[in-house]
Structure 1
């Protein structure tokens, strides 16, 4: 049945080249209007589906307390910051930060409010009087008060009093992601006036600058990698085909496939994110691989017969079915990612899967028609013959047949060792290690960890269980006990809640005596103190970001130095267990923790996508070859490279992250392509009556070069990522290149060794 369909498709492409080109053009033009619908989203939320419980918790937090994201400006000084000049700069920057786009609240030392007693009066006022910032004696006194305060050191200033922080909290908009680029640009605009100040450096930290940096570095990687990749592809094509049309056809297919797949982002309502940037390399590799098989067979046959129509017909008859099968298997590999709970991974699976089919469609609709219309080259010697001589192929196959048992044994031993190594690895990630050591984000992060002990961490919703419950002394005693336990941890810099405000108020109401720095004993007194404090604050600086309007829930922010997902999630597990012991009902959220909680999804993505792809591809192989033994055999050269790659990560001391996890599905779908071409040609020759050795010889001399060239192109496409700036891109590229290289080795070494163990049928 499939032979009839194949023959009709071959005849259509060969006999109606212009119709094919028109169809390709219409397909391309149909997607162009959707390009305007594409949008970018580099927020933490983009990694999760809207129904995910982690997102639900975050949305509850945001509705109650506002956005937890803050653009943090760290001002580093080479001397004590408590001097008139620095304080003047800090005050001006604090005022200017209100004008940064999407900022709805600004907090720093110069607008920090505290409560104290003064001559029988209770004052809730600015910690620093603006009119006294030029008084050195006043600042000296304030330095002592600041360093003794429970909140200021490690939060608004560093412990050594040589740097200060300004927090610009971003407004909450449930329907639109923050424009991190605009916010970060606004942040830098604020500091432009002071960037040449001697002895002062600025560090831009927090979620907006981090996300903006991800976006910029991703675009930089794409801008560098794409031209280099196209240059490499063109060099390979010139080497293989030595003709203008031989270079032009794959280039046209790549262009059409890339633009049409980009339009799909608008069609499906997806967003461009940091993971989307691996898509061009995938599509370039697949587009070239498809067209090279057809063109290699065309030029091989054209060199023998000198008849363009015959060569086109022969090439398409030989390759259309294998290319369709490889396209189908590659699509399965990508579509298996759709089951992932990590939304960008799921989206990437859909885009790459449909993009693979588009690449196949454009290959069919343009390659043969363009060869018929434009190929004017005279017949030349077969490239296969020039590159892979018959004597060399026979020597190689004789070696493999003679040493087949040793080869199989060696592969079993190596795969067993690498399986063991793979099981020793762990899933872990740290967003700050995604950048180079010299990157501004990396430098700023090192400074913050050294000077503050961290200014980021989880956000906790502490629920008292009833309206007005946070004014209950019993509830607050539990929160205080919990905070004390937290701050005893060496990795915790500070925990921030209304507890310190209440203690400060109570101390002030009792003549400033230190023994009254504690939570009041009566509920009505707590309510009154909270009311008094709130009424003393200026507009925009109230406590709505620390407790809800019904006074049932309070917000507890933990600032710590933990940054890897493994350490952070262990820290969360520990304090959630402690909260349970104390009797507190807490929920953990916040953008950093949201990112770390992808780890469990990475495991799920890896195993489900691999399992799904393996099952489906196995069924298809058995169906295609109508041979259980051959179908199962096709999986061996594709599973082993993934095992080797996972083991290599352990040897390289590289933990598994989201980039490494999707490599398995990506490479499984692509690597099986060579196996399909190899085995389908071998199966066809065996069914025609050839023995095993002659069939293998014919496969190597007619298909071997195309397999090698396409693998070299694939490895180059992904290998170029080792020169990227983002670590996940580097890991993705290296791992893909390694796995695909090993896949070729297993196809050309292990697969023939296994086949030579079979007996010839009569």
Structure 2
């Protein structure tokens, strides 16, 4: 454990020193390319510094201890801060291109975005707070830090950022009169082909989600670091050339005090040990029966045929007493036999196994005990099996946490949009992408660690931002009397570029984790990064057709009702 903790600490330092600057530079580069404003880039850097320093200060005052997986919190906060900044800066630049001065443009951008930015910060905080349902401290810490940082990002987005933009000589590049942007073209394409997009997207979603059936949870603490670390190379060498590094411990009860020398009990223990030795996952087994058999052989002129349990319980007791007397001063059998001599310990040394394989091996052991030695039934103990079961329980709790976050955000969106229909519609592009990403992982990889249990919660906290911005612009256009098709085009024109920018920032910033030496961070970054890409596609190609169909049906129903009323 000490060696692993040191290795994880070294890995954490490497993440901050290497991947931190890379992620920061990647997000900044994307923002520069998409915004095309030097002062806008400076504003983003200012926001990043304010949010990250606030989160670090919160962690310091709260006395939070960081773990390897917790480092992801700051990468996520970078993306959140950049996303908020991009929405407001792009709105300022857009207003200035329309002829407004700097102060007017800043005021207009703030008026248009303060509510969506608040909602995205709140829903991000809710999504990440659901990580508190996890049994794993690293994920709880990450959730709390991101939740606090997300709300700080909102505060700075409506105070520090507008103040900065109003005093610097930021300029919006003048656009050509009558020029139609790429998102105007995309909006027209989506509107004209909305039925085709809806059905084709639906088929693709079904196919991708089906890949979840191929997913297997395969967590192995010996493989938490990749081969670039000495710890991993050393543990692999030991597992391949010597005994394993993990054990299952069994406390086998004889049923009475002093019963550990009963020959029937010893024969049962010996049979159980021999069964384990036949299992391919086992490297070594040590039990009290091994000591008794070796003593019986030694006291019979080292006859190999006498390497067995004696026929007499009294003789076995004498062997054990003789063995204890022969031990060096200060040593005893308390690590093998309890004080009342009613139970003995059996140690099973494992090869490098995943959590699923450990649980399956113990389940097979329990089946053997029930059939062959009912009196010895004992569940495995030790760090290996406890860790395996804790990961399974963590998945169950995270499912509860994700559902809870989903319910809270659903109620929030229904309240905000003042429509149950639109509130529920907005949830589809927030949960389908995570399922698609896990399904794709199932097709391409198949195995995933504990990162999968928190992917939905983390992804939901991130991708709900774009959906809220799109839905807010859509609802604003509908309130102005535009049709569903016109409202979709309006949303594409006003927020399409910002959605692309924020999604690119999120995705590329998280995909940097693919180069991480920590496998959990690696899987988490890749899975969430892929989810963000799918979410952008869902927001641009699936949500608009869905809104046009369902919102159009509602309008038709209302029109039919009015017509019916007039006829009556």
**TM-score normalised by length of structure 1:** 0.67
Q: What is aligned with 1:422?
A: 212
In the TM superposition, what is the alpha-carbon distance from 1:515 to its structure 2 partner?
4.5
In 1, are the aligned partners of 2:124 and 2:464 still within 8 Å (CA)?
Answer: yes
Q: What is aligned with 1:218?
A: 12
Q: What is aligned with 2:118?
A: 324
Greater fraction helix: 2
| 1:534 to 2:324 alignment | yes
Q: Provide closer, same or farther for how the CA distance between residues 533 and 743 of structure 1 changes in structure 2, counting only shifts above 3 A.
A: same
In the TM superposition, what is the alpha-carbon distance from 1:745 to its structure 2 partner?
1.2
In the TM superposition, what is the alpha-carbon distance from 1:461 to its structure 2 partner?
2.3
| 1:641 to 2:430 alignment | no
Match of 1:402 among 174, 182, 192: 192
Match of 2:501 among 709, 716, 721: 709
| 1:256 to 2:46 alignment | no
Q: Provide closer, same or farther for how the CA distance between residues 664 and 508 of structure 1 changes in structure 2, counting only shifts above 3 A.
A: same
Match of 2:423 among 617, 622, 631: 631
**More divergent stretch after superposition (471-480 vs 283-292):** 471-480
In 2, are the aligned partners of 1:487 and 1:495 still within 8 Å (CA)?
Answer: yes
In 2, are the aligned partners of 1:463 and 1:554 still within 8 Å (CA)?
Answer: yes
Q: Provide closer, same or farther for how the CA distance between residues 269 and 461 of structure 1 changes in structure 2, counting only shifts above 3 A.
A: farther
Match of 1:489 among 251, 267, 279: 279
Q: Secondary structure at the match of 1:548?
A: coil
In 2, are the aligned partners of 1:502 and 1:526 still within 8 Å (CA)?
Answer: yes
In 2, are the aligned partners of 1:506 and 1:520 still within 8 Å (CA)?
Answer: yes
Q: What is aligned with 2:444?
A: 652
Match of 1:342 among 136, 155, 169: 136
In the TM superposition, what is the alpha-carbon distance from 1:437 to its structure 2 partner?
4.5
Match of 1:376 among 169, 186, 207: 169
Match of 2:482 among 685, 690, 704: 690
RMSD of aligned Cα (Å): 2.8
Deviations 1:472-523 (A, max 9, x none): 4433232122112222223323211332223333333444444543445555
Deviations 1:300-330 (A, max 9, x none): 2234344333222222211111111111111
Q: Provide closer, same or farther for how the CA distance between residues 472 and 349 of structure 1 changes in structure 2, counting only shifts above 3 A.
A: farther
| 1:619 to 2:408 alignment | no
**What are the residue-to-residue correspondences of 1:165-204 with 2, within 5 Å?**
180=2
In 2, are the aligned partners of 1:427 and 1:599 still within 8 Å (CA)?
Answer: no
Q: Secondary structure at the match of 1:436?
A: coil
In the TM superposition, what is the alpha-carbon distance from 1:736 to its structure 2 partner?
1.2
Q: What is aligned with 1:11?
A: none
Q: What is aligned with 2:151?
A: 357
Q: Secondary structure at the match of 1:597?
A: helix
Q: Provide closer, same or farther for how the CA distance between residues 699 and 599 of structure 1 changes in structure 2, counting only shifts above 3 A.
A: same
Q: Secondary structure at the match of 1:557?
A: strand
Q: What is aligned with 1:247?
A: 41
| Equivalent-residue separation in structure 1 for 2:203 and 2:31 (angstroms) | 38
Q: Specify every segment of 5 or more residues in structure 2 that has no aligned partner in the other structure, as ranges.
A: 560-568
In 2, are the aligned partners of 1:602 and 1:657 still within 8 Å (CA)?
Answer: no
In 1, are the aligned partners of 2:209 and 2:440 still within 8 Å (CA)?
Answer: no
| 1:661 to 2:453 alignment | yes
In 2, are the aligned partners of 1:457 and 1:557 still within 8 Å (CA)?
Answer: yes
Q: Secondary structure at the match of 1:494?
A: strand
| 1:431 to 2:221 alignment | yes
Match of 2:161 among 356, 359, 367: 367
Higher relative contact order (CA 8 A, sep 6+): 2
**What are the residue-to-residue correspondences of 1:276-295 with 2, within 5 Å?**
276-295=70-89
In the TM superposition, what is the alpha-carbon distance from 1:687 to its structure 2 partner?
0.9
Match of 2:291 among 483, 495, 501: 501
How many corresponding residue pairs? Answer: 552
In 2, are the aligned partners of 1:428 and 1:599 still within 8 Å (CA)?
Answer: no
Q: What is aligned with 1:568?
A: 358
Q: What is aligned with 1:118?
A: none
Q: Provide closer, same or farther for how the CA distance between residues 388 and 500 of structure 1 changes in structure 2, counting only shifts above 3 A.
A: farther
In 1, are the aligned partners of 2:51 and 2:152 still within 8 Å (CA)?
Answer: yes
Q: Secondary structure at the match of 1:658?
A: coil
| Equivalent-residue separation in structure 2 for 1:337 and 1:318 (angstroms) | 31
Q: Secondary structure at the match of 1:634?
A: helix
In 1, are the aligned partners of 2:218 and 2:354 still within 8 Å (CA)?
Answer: yes
Q: Provide closer, same or farther for how the CA distance between residues 398 and 340 of structure 1 changes in structure 2, counting only shifts above 3 A.
A: same
| 1:413 to 2:203 alignment | yes
Q: Provide closer, same or farther for how the CA distance between residues 484 and 369 of structure 1 changes in structure 2, counting only shifts above 3 A.
A: same
In 1, are the aligned partners of 2:473 and 2:494 still within 8 Å (CA)?
Answer: no
| Equivalent-residue separation in structure 2 for 1:271 and 1:322 (angstroms) | 33
In 1, are the aligned partners of 2:220 and 2:352 still within 8 Å (CA)?
Answer: no
| Equivalent-residue separation in structure 1 for 2:482 and 2:531 (angstroms) | 32
| Equivalent-residue separation in structure 2 for 1:362 and 1:545 (angstroms) | 59
Q: Secondary structure at the match of 1:459?
A: strand
In the TM superposition, what is the alpha-carbon distance from 1:386 to its structure 2 partner?
7.7
Q: Secondary structure at the match of 1:589?
A: coil
**TM-score normalised by length of structure 2:** 0.88
Deviations 1:173-211 (A, max 9, x none): xxxxxxx2xxxxxxxxxxxxxxxxxxxxxxxxxxx3x44
In 2, are the aligned partners of 1:453 and 1:491 still within 8 Å (CA)?
Answer: no
Q: Specify every segment of 5 or more residues in structure 1 that has no aligned partner in the other structure, as ranges.
A: 1-42, 44-179, 181-207
